Structure 1
Amino acid sequence: MRDLRIGIDEAFRNFTRAYGETLEQLFHPIQLLLNFIEGMLIDSSWVIVLVALAGLVWLLSRNLKIVAGTIVALLLIGYFGMWEDTMRTIAMVSVCTLIAVVIGIPVGILMARSDRANATITPLLDMMQTMPSFVYLIPVVMIFGLGKVPGVIAVVIYAVPPIIRLTNLGIRQVPADVLEAAEAFGSSGRQKLMDVQLPLALPTIMAGVNQTIMMSLAMVVVASMIGVRGLGQPVLQAINNQYFTLGVMNGLAIVAIAIIFDRATQAYGKRLQKHLEAVHG
């Protein structure tokens, strides 16, 4: 076993030396996107960012209470000097959630439509969810070093299983009689998916998006260990130096961002479901 372990480690090191630069170039657009969003949030006037975020929450939720809570939370974050770190965290979570959704929903659809794919992918998801989050950092740091890209990759690996599982679950839970009715009207497989299954599965899919956001935020502190800046770094600093107040304040800022994301996406999912049900009868 010792020889096997040494052989695997050496093979992985050779792989990183041979293909590390190629992989860095492949993932470079992710870094550009993250830098763009982060720079836009940090370099813009805080008033403009506050209004833009409140406007986005309003467009998603159409709920004045959620918008008011968002404004109060962001003002308190700014008052206590955590604005810049919060903007970095929002940028990080936004990019990670976007990547997770782009990957997760198609994979979930594939699992729902193929029992073989479901049986093959489910053990991988089990492993991704039970593996200690620190383990994800080892291969990505060996390939990419310290920085934002390995942080994004580690967070996405940790956070993508819920959106895959719940997309699969939501589509499989669509009543059989509804699908039979769609078939009776001559709907193709694609039409059934787009016009029947996905609209009815939206609440479950949005629950998956919420869980992905929550898990991304939970990884913020862990990702700070490999150089990802944001609210996680002050928390890590507080742990190392026993700064109770610093840790609690930044932890509460993470909670506030989590609640804002959660309430806005939940409300949007409900509105979208009602709209699609009205359109498709």
Structure 2
Amino acid sequence: MAEPNWLIDFPALDESTLRAFNRAVDDAYLSFTRTYGATIEDAFDPLLRFMVWFEHLMLGAPWWLVILAVAALAWGASRGWKLPALVVASFLAIGVMGMWEDTMRTMAMISVCTLIAVVVGIPTGILMSRSDRMKAGVVPVLDIMQTMPSFVYLIPVVMLLGLGKVPGLLAVVIYAIPPVIRLTDLGIRLVDKEVLEATDAFGASPWQRLWGVQVPLAMPNIMAGINQTIMMALAMVVVASMIGVKGLGQPVLRAVTNQYFAMGLLNGLAVVLLAILFDRVTQSYGRRMQRYRDESR
């Protein structure tokens, strides 16, 4: 075998060294999963119970009640008839095409993922806005979470928790949470300093200034972050179906595997309709909050 030319070939480690390194990493993680896997599964059991309950709630609710509730949310956001009409037409089309149950499962999954992303992401964004040192530490982590291929998240999660709802939820949340964190931090940092100075002049405490002034004025940016989080969560529907998460992703995956064009097209369009509806509703709420902020100045 010819000696490598270091002027042309990159001086990489030899294959035996790389294999030894990969084996050491795999063995360390396997040891971790065997030691702490059961404990971690028990810790996520309440989340699993909540997800199962919410999914059963969505599946057990009458179809007309679900459509009415979502249409009411759309009307509350837009205060017009066009968006509620789009909601009704979209859900009727989904139901007629026989995709109602899968759509409800997907909506339940996305709703829980968004709730977790909001509960974790908004406080994290607030802390980032109050500490440049924390922001410097969190931003690289967010960059990794957004750029790492989503399939890579599935490997350690599945090894630790197996197949099912919780691993899929964790993978979706990891992929989708960065926008709400970033835009919460940005929104609070963009609050006018003169407004904050006036708040301090009136003797407001830091807690009152945060929740009475900064967070309300930053809500349009926060809603934009929630919007992007929902969109990214929907983009993970098919990937999550690979580890046993039921919903619209599984028929798409079957269609790809078996080359069923019609099945893939219809279920893909159902995902698109959900994305459009979520996008329009959250954008409408964001615009209303923006108008309220402009009027309050």
Report what 1:24 is aligned to: 41
Confirm or deny that 1:51 pairs with 2:68: yes
Report what 2:13 is aligned to: none
The C-alpha deviation readout for 1:139-189, integer Å capped at 9, x for no partner, is: 110011110000000000000000000001111111222212222222222
Question: Separation in 2 of the partners of 1:70 and 1:51?
Answer: 9
Confirm or deny that 1:212 pairs with 2:192: no
How far has the Cα of 1:53 moved from its partner?
2.4
Confirm or deny that 1:159 pairs with 2:173: no
Q: Which runs of 5+ in 1 are unaligned?
A: none
Report what 2:6 is aligned to: none
Confirm or deny that 1:268 pairs with 2:282: no
Confirm or deny that 1:111 pairs with 2:120: no
How far has the Cα of 1:103 moved from its partner?
0.5
The normalised TM-score by structure 1 is 0.95
Question: Separation in 1 of the partners of 2:130 and 2:51?
Answer: 33
Match of 2:97 among 52, 56, 80: 80
Rg larger in structure: 2
Report what 2:145 is aligned to: 128
Report what 2:268 is aligned to: 251
Match of 2:259 among 228, 238, 242: 242
Question: Separation in 2 of the partners of 1:167 and 1:189?
Answer: 17
Question: Separation in 1 of the partners of 2:19 and 2:80?
Answer: 59
How far has the Cα of 1:272 moved from its partner?
4.2
Q: Which runs of 5+ in 2 are unaligned?
A: 1-17
How far has the Cα of 1:32 moved from its partner?
1.4
Which has the larger helix fraction?
Answer: 1
Which amino acid is the alignment partner of residue 201 of structure 2? A
Question: Separation in 2 of the partners of 1:273 and 1:37?
Answer: 32
**Does the CA-based 8 Å contact 1:199-1:273 persist in structure 2?**
no
The normalised TM-score by structure 2 is 0.90
Match of 1:140 among 157, 160, 172: 157
Question: Separation in 1 of the partners of 2:293 and 2:37?
Answer: 45
How far has the Cα of 1:277 moved from its partner?
7.2
Match of 1:196 among 213, 228, 239: 213
Report what 1:13 is aligned to: 30
Which amino acid is the alignment partner of residue 253 of structure 1? A
Q: CA RMSD in A?
A: 1.6
Question: Separation in 1 of the partners of 2:257 and 2:244?
Answer: 15
Aligned to 2:203, the other structure's residue is in SS state: coil
